[in-house]
Amino acid sequence: MSSDSAASTPPTLDDLDGIARVYPHGPNQFHIVRPQIEQRASLVKIWGIKPGEKVLEIGCGQGDCTVVLATAVGDEGSVTAIDPASLDYGSPYTLGQAQAHLKASPVGNRITFVQSDPVTFVQSTSERYTTAVLAQCSWYFSSPRVWSDILAVLLERVDRVCISEYSLTASDPRAAAHVLATFAQAALEVHKNESSSNCRTVFSPERLKDAAIVAGLKLQQETLIVPPEGMLDGRWEVGWVLSKDFEKEIDENVKDEREKAVVIAARDSVRAALELLKAKDEKVHTMDVWVATFTKN
């Protein structure tokens, strides 16, 4: 795990290379990490995260958004980053490995990682935060109710809520395969009682927005952004749907013939979209991302 900036001064928000070097990566992985950091930095700038803020991040995972938030808030600010997943979850680095690496980094003193159910944590703390951030984490929730429950408890602890999620739209036609792969996964996931998938409950921006408004939040701003070239999430999701392991999961979890036909057809549509790209010598792009800021009514 690279630590070439472990002893250096903290990077600035405009120093994307510097932030990417702080984030855990192997010798040949910088080109993968850099676009991820660029996309997270775009979010943080749209949300207007300021130095000195006290940020609560829900669903931090390995901390790719956490490190950008910690850069933005500066030494006078802080980021409390929560994720309920086991510390041995994740690849190529587990949550535990990535979080330990970031704690030892130049921005580590600004970050507190918490392994907890978000609702339980927020209900148990008396702390107040300037901003809650939920960056592309809602699809990991086990049901729509989890999203609503989190928004409800956040109202008591934060001044505003900043959200991003994949939009299910493809401004770049190369991202159509990523959109289709999402629905293929969603068609399979509804047949599972438990899951470690990236797409457990798929929300559209409209449903996320509606839930926020019902919870008592007011939409302040929203926009769509196209992820940078080199952000590989779309390729990873397409690759998973077309893998033998995904096919095996269909057989193991979907018993009704008609329901299985839906999942298989969705998978076939992903393969067809990929073949169209290959015929043009193009690769899968990652779909658009919806970015929004909410305040209290």
Residue 203, phi-psi category: left (phi > 0), alpha (psi -120 to 50), beta (remainder): beta
Rounded Cα distance, 188 and 193, in Å: 11
Q: Given this model, what pLDDT does residue 193 score?
A: 87
| 14-29 pLDDT per residue, tens | 999 999 999 999 889 9
Written as one letter, the residue type at 22 is V
| Closest to 8 in 3D by CA, of 52, 71, 54, 59 | 71
pLDDT above 90: residue 154: yes
C-alpha dihedral sign at 279, 179, 182, 86 = positive
Mean pLDDT of 272-289: 98
pLDDT band at 5 (very low <50, low <70, confident <90, very high): very low
Architecture of domain 16-171+198-230+284-296 in this structure: 3-Layer(aba) Sandwich (3.40)
Q: Which pLDDT band, with edges at 50, 70 and 90, does 2 fall under?
A: low
Q: What is the rounded distance in angstroms from the CA atom of residue 250 to the CA atom of residue 273?
A: 20
Predicted confidence band of residue 145 (pLDDT cuts 50, 70, 90): very high
The Cα–Cα gap between 270 and 241 comes to 8
5 close to 105: Cβ distance less than 8 angstroms: yes
Please compute the mean of the pLDDT values over residues 157-161 and round it to a whole number: 96
51-108 pLDDT, tens digit per residue, is: 999 999 999 999 999 999 999 999 999 999 999 999 988 888 899 999 999 999 999 9
At 236-245, the pLDDT tens digits run: 999 999 999 9
pTM of the model: 0.94
Q: What order do you get walking across the sheet with 54-58 strand by strand?
A: 111-115, 78-83, 54-58, 129-135, 158-166, 289-296, 217-225
* 101 vs 63: CA distance, rounded Å: 10
Give per-residue pLDDT as tens, 163-185: 999 999 999 999 999 999 999 99
Cα(46)–Cα(80) distance, integer angstroms: 20
For helices 95-103 and 64-73, what crossing angle results, to 10°?
20
What six digits make up the tokens of 296? 């209290």
Quick one: residue 202, left, alpha or beta (phi over 0 = left, psi -120 to 50 = alpha)? beta
Q: What is the 3-state secondary structure (H, E, C) of 76-143?
A: CCEEEEEECCCCCCCCCCCHHHHHHHHHCCCCHHHEEEEECCHHHHHHHCCCCEEEEEEECCHHHCCC
Mean pLDDT of the chain: 95
Q: How far is CA 143 from the centre of its chain?
A: 16
- Distance, in Å, from the CA atom of 142 to the CA atom of 130, rounded to the nearest integer, reads 27
Tell the residue number behind the tokens 């429950």, with chain if given: 149
pLDDT surpassing 60 at residue 37: yes
Per-residue pLDDT, 268: 98
Banded model confidence at residue 1, pLDDT cuts 50, 70, 90:
low
Instruction: State the average pLDDT over residues 200-219.
Output: 96
- Lowest-confidence region among 93-97, 223-227, 248-252: 93-97
